[in-house]
Protein backbone atom coordinates (compact mmCIF):
# COMPACT_ATOMS: atom_id res chain seq x y z
CA UNK A 1 0.00 0.00 0.00
CA UNK A 2 1.20 3.54 -0.65
CA UNK A 3 1.27 5.28 2.72
CA UNK A 4 3.52 8.21 3.59
CA UNK A 5 6.05 6.95 6.08
CA UNK A 6 9.62 6.47 7.06
CA UNK A 7 11.52 3.50 5.64
CA UNK A 8 12.72 0.97 8.16
CA UNK A 9 15.11 -1.93 7.75
CA UNK A 10 13.82 -5.34 6.65
CA UNK A 11 11.20 -3.71 4.44
CA UNK A 12 8.93 -2.36 7.18
CA UNK A 13 7.41 1.09 7.10
CA UNK A 14 6.44 3.22 10.04
CA UNK A 15 2.79 4.09 9.61
CA UNK A 16 1.83 7.72 9.83
CA UNK A 17 1.07 8.44 13.49
CA UNK A 18 -1.88 10.69 12.75
CA UNK A 19 -3.57 7.94 10.79
CA UNK A 20 -2.71 5.39 13.47
CA UNK A 21 -4.36 7.48 16.17
CA UNK A 22 -7.39 8.01 13.94
CA UNK A 23 -7.84 4.26 13.53
CA UNK A 24 -7.22 3.20 17.14
CA UNK A 25 -10.66 4.06 18.47
CA UNK A 26 -12.29 1.65 16.00
CA UNK A 27 -9.90 -1.19 16.74
CA UNK A 28 -9.52 -1.26 20.50
CA UNK A 29 -10.96 -3.94 22.74
CA UNK A 30 -14.18 -3.12 24.55
CA UNK A 31 -12.22 -3.21 27.82
CA UNK A 32 -8.50 -2.67 28.10
CA UNK A 33 -8.10 -5.39 30.72
CA UNK A 34 -8.91 -7.96 28.03
CA UNK A 35 -5.44 -7.49 26.54
CA UNK A 36 -4.42 -11.08 27.37
CA UNK A 37 -6.98 -12.32 24.84
CA UNK A 38 -5.18 -10.96 21.76
CA UNK A 39 -1.85 -11.86 23.37
CA UNK A 40 -2.94 -15.51 23.51
CA UNK A 41 -4.06 -15.30 19.88
CA UNK A 42 -0.70 -13.78 19.00
CA UNK A 43 1.10 -16.64 20.74
CA UNK A 44 -1.09 -19.25 19.05
CA UNK A 45 -0.52 -17.63 15.64
CA UNK A 46 3.22 -17.75 16.37
CA UNK A 47 2.95 -21.51 16.84
CA UNK A 48 3.53 -21.34 20.58
CA UNK A 49 3.02 -24.46 22.63
CA UNK A 50 3.63 -22.65 25.93
CA UNK A 51 2.29 -19.34 27.24
CA UNK A 52 2.74 -18.61 30.94
CA UNK A 53 1.10 -15.61 32.64
CA UNK A 54 1.76 -14.57 36.23
CA UNK A 55 2.29 -11.56 38.47
CA UNK A 56 0.34 -8.87 40.35
CA UNK A 57 1.91 -5.40 40.28
CA UNK A 58 3.77 -6.41 37.13
CA UNK A 59 2.17 -8.90 34.81
CA UNK A 60 4.64 -11.26 33.17
CA UNK A 61 3.87 -13.33 30.09
CA UNK A 62 6.26 -15.51 28.13
CA UNK A 63 5.74 -17.76 25.13
CA UNK A 64 7.67 -19.71 22.54
CA UNK A 65 7.08 -19.88 18.81
CA UNK A 66 8.13 -17.47 16.05
CA UNK A 67 9.85 -14.43 17.60
CA UNK A 68 9.43 -10.80 16.57
CA UNK A 69 12.11 -9.14 14.47
CA UNK A 70 13.50 -5.71 15.23
CA UNK A 71 11.52 -4.29 12.31
CA UNK A 72 8.28 -5.72 13.69
CA UNK A 73 8.95 -4.30 17.15
CA UNK A 74 9.78 -0.88 15.69
CA UNK A 75 6.47 -0.83 13.84
CA UNK A 76 4.07 -2.52 16.28
CA UNK A 77 0.88 -1.07 14.75
CA UNK A 78 1.77 -1.44 11.09
CA UNK A 79 -0.31 -4.61 10.66
CA UNK A 80 -3.47 -2.62 11.37
CA UNK A 81 -3.15 -0.99 7.96
CA UNK A 82 -2.19 -4.01 5.87
CA UNK A 83 -4.91 -6.09 4.26
CA UNK A 84 -4.30 -9.75 4.99
CA UNK A 85 -1.62 -8.94 7.57
CA UNK A 86 0.17 -11.66 9.51
CA UNK A 87 -2.26 -12.63 12.32
CA UNK A 88 0.66 -12.80 14.75
CA UNK A 89 1.42 -9.11 14.18
CA UNK A 90 -2.24 -8.12 14.03
CA UNK A 91 -3.04 -9.65 17.41
CA UNK A 92 0.17 -8.24 18.88
CA UNK A 93 -0.99 -4.75 17.90
CA UNK A 94 -4.36 -5.40 19.53
CA UNK A 95 -2.63 -6.63 22.70
CA UNK A 96 -0.46 -3.53 22.87
CA UNK A 97 -3.41 -1.17 22.37
CA UNK A 98 -5.41 -2.93 25.07
CA UNK A 99 -2.54 -3.00 27.55
CA UNK A 100 -1.87 0.72 27.06
CA UNK A 101 -5.51 1.51 27.82
CA UNK A 102 -4.91 0.28 31.39
CA UNK A 103 -2.41 3.15 31.81
CA UNK A 104 0.65 1.09 32.74
CA UNK A 105 3.89 2.67 33.82
CA UNK A 106 5.59 0.73 31.05
CA UNK A 107 5.13 -2.17 28.64
CA UNK A 108 8.24 -4.14 27.69
CA UNK A 109 8.47 -6.83 25.06
CA UNK A 110 11.69 -8.72 24.40
CA UNK A 111 11.94 -11.16 21.52
CA UNK A 112 14.40 -12.73 19.13
CA UNK A 113 17.35 -15.08 19.34
CA UNK A 114 20.94 -14.33 20.28
CA UNK A 115 22.31 -11.18 18.69
CA UNK A 116 18.94 -10.63 16.99
CA UNK A 117 17.12 -10.29 20.31
CA UNK A 118 15.63 -6.83 20.92
CA UNK A 119 13.58 -5.04 23.56
CA UNK A 120 10.57 -2.80 22.93
CA UNK A 121 9.73 -0.28 25.65
CA UNK A 122 6.68 1.96 25.59
CA UNK A 123 4.27 3.72 27.92
CA UNK A 124 1.91 5.29 25.39
CA UNK A 125 0.84 5.43 21.78
CA UNK A 126 3.86 7.54 20.91
CA UNK A 127 7.55 7.07 21.47
CA UNK A 128 8.31 3.35 21.37
CA UNK A 129 11.97 2.59 21.84
CA UNK A 130 13.65 -0.57 20.56
CA UNK A 131 17.13 -1.49 21.75
CA UNK A 132 19.28 -4.63 21.68
CA UNK A 133 18.44 -6.98 24.54
CA UNK A 134 21.42 -8.65 26.15
CA UNK A 135 19.34 -10.48 28.75
CA UNK A 136 19.19 -14.24 29.15
CA UNK A 137 15.49 -14.64 28.42
CA UNK A 138 14.42 -16.86 25.55
CA UNK A 139 11.23 -16.76 23.51
CA UNK A 140 9.02 -13.69 23.66
CA UNK A 141 8.75 -12.12 27.11
CA UNK A 142 6.20 -9.43 27.99
CA UNK A 143 6.13 -7.22 31.09
CA UNK A 144 3.20 -4.89 31.82
CA UNK A 145 3.96 -2.86 34.93
CA UNK A 146 1.68 -0.46 36.77
CA UNK A 147 4.02 0.53 39.57
CA UNK A 148 3.45 0.04 43.31
CA UNK A 149 -0.22 1.10 43.09
CA UNK A 150 -1.00 -1.37 40.33
CA UNK A 151 -2.00 -4.10 42.77
CA UNK A 152 -4.46 -1.79 44.58
CA UNK A 153 -5.96 -0.66 41.28
CA UNK A 154 -6.45 -4.30 40.33
CA UNK A 155 -4.87 -3.96 36.88
CA UNK A 156 -3.40 -7.46 36.65
CA UNK A 157 -6.27 -9.26 38.38
CA UNK A 158 -9.01 -8.35 35.87
CA UNK A 159 -6.67 -9.18 32.99
CA UNK A 160 -6.03 -12.67 34.36
CA UNK A 161 -9.71 -13.23 35.12
CA UNK A 162 -10.60 -12.26 31.55
CA UNK A 163 -8.04 -14.79 30.31
CA UNK A 164 -9.44 -17.53 32.55
CA UNK A 165 -12.89 -16.94 31.06
CA UNK A 166 -11.84 -16.66 27.42
CA UNK A 167 -8.93 -19.07 26.91
CA UNK A 168 -11.37 -21.90 26.38
CA UNK A 169 -9.73 -23.88 23.57
CA UNK A 170 -6.11 -22.80 23.91
CA UNK A 171 -3.30 -25.39 24.06
CA UNK A 172 -2.82 -27.11 27.45
CA UNK A 173 0.52 -25.32 27.79
CA UNK A 174 -1.23 -21.93 28.03
CA UNK A 175 -1.46 -21.20 31.76
CA UNK A 176 -2.47 -18.43 34.16
CA UNK A 177 -0.62 -18.59 37.48
CA UNK A 178 0.44 -22.12 36.60
CA UNK A 179 -3.00 -23.53 35.80
CA UNK A 180 -4.63 -24.09 32.39
CA UNK A 181 -7.86 -22.04 32.16
CA UNK A 182 -9.75 -24.82 30.40
CA UNK A 183 -10.02 -27.58 32.98
CA UNK A 184 -11.03 -31.18 32.56
CA UNK A 185 -14.78 -31.84 32.28
CA UNK A 186 -16.58 -33.03 35.38
CA UNK A 187 -16.64 -36.81 35.88
CA UNK A 188 -19.52 -38.28 33.91
CA UNK A 189 -19.92 -35.14 31.82
CA UNK A 190 -20.58 -36.06 28.20
CA UNK A 191 -18.14 -34.24 25.91
CA UNK A 192 -17.46 -34.62 22.20
CA UNK A 193 -14.27 -33.22 20.66
CA UNK A 194 -13.90 -33.28 16.90
CA UNK A 195 -12.32 -31.51 13.96
CA UNK A 196 -13.88 -30.93 10.57
CA UNK A 197 -13.06 -28.64 7.66
CA UNK A 198 -10.45 -26.68 9.60
CA UNK A 199 -12.81 -26.24 12.56
CA UNK A 200 -12.36 -27.60 16.07
CA UNK A 201 -15.60 -28.38 17.88
CA UNK A 202 -16.39 -29.12 21.49
CA UNK A 203 -19.93 -30.27 22.23
CA UNK A 204 -21.67 -30.86 25.54
CA UNK A 205 -25.31 -31.41 26.47
CA UNK A 206 -27.14 -28.08 26.68
CA UNK A 207 -27.80 -26.35 29.98
CA UNK A 208 -31.31 -25.72 28.63
CA UNK A 209 -32.66 -28.50 26.35
CA UNK A 210 -34.67 -25.89 24.42
CA UNK A 211 -31.68 -23.73 23.50
CA UNK A 212 -28.27 -24.00 21.87
CA UNK A 213 -25.43 -21.77 23.00
CA UNK A 214 -22.39 -21.47 20.73
CA UNK A 215 -19.12 -19.81 21.65
CA UNK A 216 -17.07 -18.72 18.66
CA UNK A 217 -13.32 -18.88 19.25
CA UNK A 218 -10.39 -17.53 17.27
CA UNK A 219 -7.05 -19.26 17.80
CA UNK A 220 -8.50 -20.93 20.90
CA UNK A 221 -9.73 -17.71 22.52
CA UNK A 222 -13.44 -16.96 22.93
CA UNK A 223 -14.83 -14.08 20.88
CA UNK A 224 -18.58 -14.17 21.48
CA UNK A 225 -21.37 -16.48 22.62
CA UNK A 226 -24.73 -16.62 20.87
CA UNK A 227 -28.01 -18.37 21.59
CA UNK A 228 -29.88 -20.09 18.79
CA UNK A 229 -32.21 -22.98 18.01
CA UNK A 230 -30.88 -25.82 15.88
CA UNK A 231 -33.23 -27.88 13.67
CA UNK A 232 -32.63 -31.33 15.19
CA UNK A 233 -30.86 -31.21 18.55
CA UNK A 234 -29.68 -28.58 20.98
CA UNK A 235 -26.15 -28.50 22.43
CA UNK A 236 -23.64 -26.37 24.25
CA UNK A 237 -20.91 -25.83 21.66
CA UNK A 238 -17.54 -24.18 21.25
CA UNK A 239 -16.20 -23.76 17.72
CA UNK A 240 -12.64 -22.66 16.98
CA UNK A 241 -11.40 -21.35 13.64
CA UNK A 242 -8.19 -19.39 13.13
CA UNK A 243 -9.67 -17.99 9.91
CA UNK A 244 -12.63 -16.22 11.55
CA UNK A 245 -12.74 -12.51 10.72
CA UNK A 246 -13.28 -10.39 13.85
CA UNK A 247 -14.96 -7.03 14.16
CA UNK A 248 -12.79 -3.99 14.91
CA UNK A 249 -13.49 -4.28 18.64
CA UNK A 250 -12.69 -8.03 18.52
CA UNK A 251 -15.95 -8.67 20.38
CA UNK A 252 -17.76 -10.53 17.57
CA UNK A 253 -17.15 -12.71 14.53
CA UNK A 254 -17.99 -11.08 11.21
CA UNK A 255 -21.12 -12.62 9.71
CA UNK A 256 -19.63 -14.12 6.57
CA UNK A 257 -19.43 -17.50 4.84
CA UNK A 258 -16.83 -18.73 7.33
CA UNK A 259 -19.11 -18.05 10.27
CA UNK A 260 -22.04 -19.69 8.50
CA UNK A 261 -19.92 -22.76 7.77
CA UNK A 262 -19.18 -22.99 11.48
CA UNK A 263 -22.89 -22.81 12.33
CA UNK A 264 -23.64 -25.53 9.78
CA UNK A 265 -20.88 -27.72 11.24
CA UNK A 266 -22.29 -27.33 14.75
CA UNK A 267 -25.79 -28.23 13.54
CA UNK A 268 -24.50 -31.37 11.78
CA UNK A 269 -22.45 -32.44 14.79
CA UNK A 270 -25.37 -31.77 17.13
CA UNK A 271 -27.59 -34.14 15.15
CA UNK A 272 -25.08 -36.95 15.72
CA UNK A 273 -24.79 -35.94 19.37
CA UNK A 274 -28.57 -36.34 19.87
CA UNK A 275 -28.63 -39.94 21.17
CA UNK A 276 -26.16 -39.19 23.97
CA UNK A 277 -27.97 -35.97 24.84
CA UNK A 278 -31.31 -37.74 25.00
CA UNK A 279 -29.91 -40.39 27.32
CA UNK A 280 -28.53 -37.72 29.65
CA UNK A 281 -31.85 -35.95 30.05
CA UNK A 282 -33.71 -39.24 30.40
CA UNK A 283 -31.45 -40.34 33.26
Distance of CA 228 to the CA centre of its chain: 25
Number of H helices, E strands in the chain: 7, 14
Q: In the chain, where are the structural domains located? A: 6-176, 192-282
- For position 187, what pLDDT does the model report? 54
d(CA 120, CA 133): 9
pLDDT of 16 reads 61
- Per-residue pLDDT, 8: 38
Q: What is the pLDDT of residues 203-227, one digit of tens each?
A: 999 989 899 999 999 999 999 999 9
CATH number for 6-176 (one of 3.40.50.300, 1.10.3720.10, 3.30.870.10, 3.30.565.10): it is 3.30.565.10
* Residue 160 near residue 177, CB atoms below 8 Å: yes
| The pLDDT of residue 136 | 80
Q: How far apart are CA 12 and CA 5, in angstroms?
A: 10
Between 114 and 130, where is the model more confident?
130
Amino acid sequence: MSEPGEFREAGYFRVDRAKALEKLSSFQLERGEQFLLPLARCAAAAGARLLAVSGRTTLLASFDGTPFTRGELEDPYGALFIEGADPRRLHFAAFLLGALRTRPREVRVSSGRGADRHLLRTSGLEGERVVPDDGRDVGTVVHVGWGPLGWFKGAAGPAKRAALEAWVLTPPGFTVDGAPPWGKPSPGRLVSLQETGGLALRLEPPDDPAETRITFCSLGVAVETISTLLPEAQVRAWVNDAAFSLTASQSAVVEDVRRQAALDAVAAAAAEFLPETARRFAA
